[in-house]
């Protein structure tokens, strides 16, 4: 299908679905036009118009076009109307609403042998879906949220394997549940900070604070090296915390405040020195992590039930209506805020893979 044919198809779809909502204004009355570009399409209203050009109109067009274009294109949902200037001297058509897209739809990676798969990958990329890879050099911190049974641990195990075998990242693993991350670490001979029977909750979090403090000191040491040589390359250090919310609830206030302070400093200072956070929790409200940490997250993953309530912490400005999320386990939303991927929220299908028996 050529661009002109696609534009005509979109015009017909909008005329039929939108005409009754904007009081009969259609392309047949020269009220608007559509122009297809490589990275999206433009809705071009002719001004003055008999309808209001606002967020409501933008999202109505989004819902119509998203269904019409699926599965050839995936429209990338914006938080508000996306106006762009048009290069013309005609004041009536000098602005348009832009709807960016990516070609195709999200497709799940199906990995028959995880060890062979990661051995075939190269730094600094971590494959997430068939058409999405993350450059780990651009990652500040990663968050994985989801209800119980949504597939958080499954996704975490995949990322841990990629971090160890593709990125050669050093790992500090904190596992309050003493669950699948600990079993993965045992198989891979990596120490884990986990609770023990004869210790209190506050004592356990104090041990975590000590490990975080050492990581913060490493950041300061690396900053001094960068001051002398800004081109110096460090190895990655990733601090992995499963079920963050379990650490902050029921902990002595002073110890909890220290935990939050250390997390915030690492999130704010770690990027340049290759020190990262990988956080997993059922939700990321102010009780689980400080707001300053949440603002530094640039890989956001929400798995499981997707609605306005479940996305309110990782994607506070997002209305998920209209985003086509496939059915099945390990599906949800992902946003990668870097200079290589679309910054908009995308449908996510977590990789399917096979791992050693007894880890999950």
Find the mean pLDDT for residues 206-213: 96
User: Between 261 and 202, whose confidence is greater?
Assistant: 261
CATH class of 110-353: alpha beta
The tokens for 201 are 């909750």
Indicate whether 86 pLDDT > 80: yes
Residues 129-147: pLDDT tens digits?
A: 998 999 999 999 999 999 8
* In the predicted structure, residue 110 carries a pLDDT above the cut 90: yes
R_g (Cα) of the chain, nearest Å: 24
What average pLDDT does the segment 188-203 reach?
89
* CA 128 – CA 107 distance, rounded (Å): 10
Predicted TM-score (pTM) of this structure: 0.91
Q: Is the pLDDT of residue 240 over 90?
A: yes
* Percentage of the residues of the chain whose pLDDT score is greater than 90: 73
- pLDDT of 201 reads 85
Kindly report which listed range (108-112, 192-196, 223-227, 338-342) carries the lowest average pLDDT score.
Answer: 338-342
294-316: per-residue pLDDT in tens?
999 999 999 998 999 999 999 99
Note the pLDDT tens digit of each residue in 321-353. Answer: 889 888 888 899 999 998 888 888 999 999 999
Q: Does the pLDDT of residue 274 top 90, yes or no? A: yes
* Residue extents of the structural domains in the chain: 3-103, 110-353
Q: What is the reported pLDDT for 358?
A: 63
* Cis peptide leading into residue 48 (ω within 30°): yes
Residue in 309, 160, 329, 295 with CA at minimum distance from that of residue 239: 160
The rounded mean pLDDT for the chain is: 91
Q: Beta partners for 146?
A: 303
pLDDT digits 0-9 by tens, 12-67: 999 988 877 777 788 888 889 999 999 999 999 999 988 889 999 999 999 999 99
Give which of 292, 267, 288 is closest to 278, Cα–Cα.
267
What are residue 157's phi and psi, to 5 degrees? -60, -40
């Amino acid at each position: 299908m050529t661009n002109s044919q696609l534009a005509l198809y979109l015009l017909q779809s909008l005329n039929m679905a939108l005409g009754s909502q904007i009081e009969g204004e259609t392309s047949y009355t020269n009220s608007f036009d559509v122009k297809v570009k490589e990275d999206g399409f433009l809705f071009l209203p002719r001004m003055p118009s008999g309808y209001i050009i606002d967020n409501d109109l933008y999202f109505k067009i989004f819902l119509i076009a998203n269904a019409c274009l699926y599965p050839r294109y995936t429209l990338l949902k914006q938080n508000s109307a996306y106006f762009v200037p048009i290069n013309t001297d005609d004041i009536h058509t000098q602005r348009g609403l832009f709807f960016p897209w990516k070609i195709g739809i999200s497709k799940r990676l199906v990995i028959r042998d995880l060890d062979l798969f990661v051995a075939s990958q190269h730094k600094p990329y971590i494959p997430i879906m068939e058409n999405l890879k993350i450059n780990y050099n651009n990652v500040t911190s990663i968050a994985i949220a989801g209800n119980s049974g949504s597939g958080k641990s499954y996704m975490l195990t995949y990322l841990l394997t990629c971090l160890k075998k593709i990125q050669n990242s050093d790992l500090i693993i904190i596992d309050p549940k003493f669950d699948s991350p600990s079993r993965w670490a045992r198989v891979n001979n990596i120490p884990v900070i986990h609770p023990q029977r004869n210790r209190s909750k506050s004592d356990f979090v104090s041990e975590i604070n000590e490990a975080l403090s050492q990581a913060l000191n490493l950041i300061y040491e690396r900053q001094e090296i960068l001051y002398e040589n800004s081109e110096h390359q460090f190895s990655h250090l990733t601090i992995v915390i499963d079920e963050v919310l379990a650490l902050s609830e029921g902990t002595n206030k002073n110890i909890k405040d220290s935990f939050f302070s250390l997390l915030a400093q690492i999130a704010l200072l770690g990027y340049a020195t290759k020190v990262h956070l990988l956080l997993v929790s059922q939700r990321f409200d102010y009780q689980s992590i400080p707001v300053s940490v949440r603002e530094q997250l640039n890989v956001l993953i929400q798995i499981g039930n997707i609605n306005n309530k479940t996305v309110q912490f990782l994607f506070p400005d997002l209305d998920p209506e209209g985003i086509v999320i496939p059915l099945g386990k390990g599906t949800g939303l992902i946003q990668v805020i870097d200079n290589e991927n679309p910054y908009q929220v995308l449908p996510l299908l977590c990789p399917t893979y096979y791992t050693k028996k007894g880890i999950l």
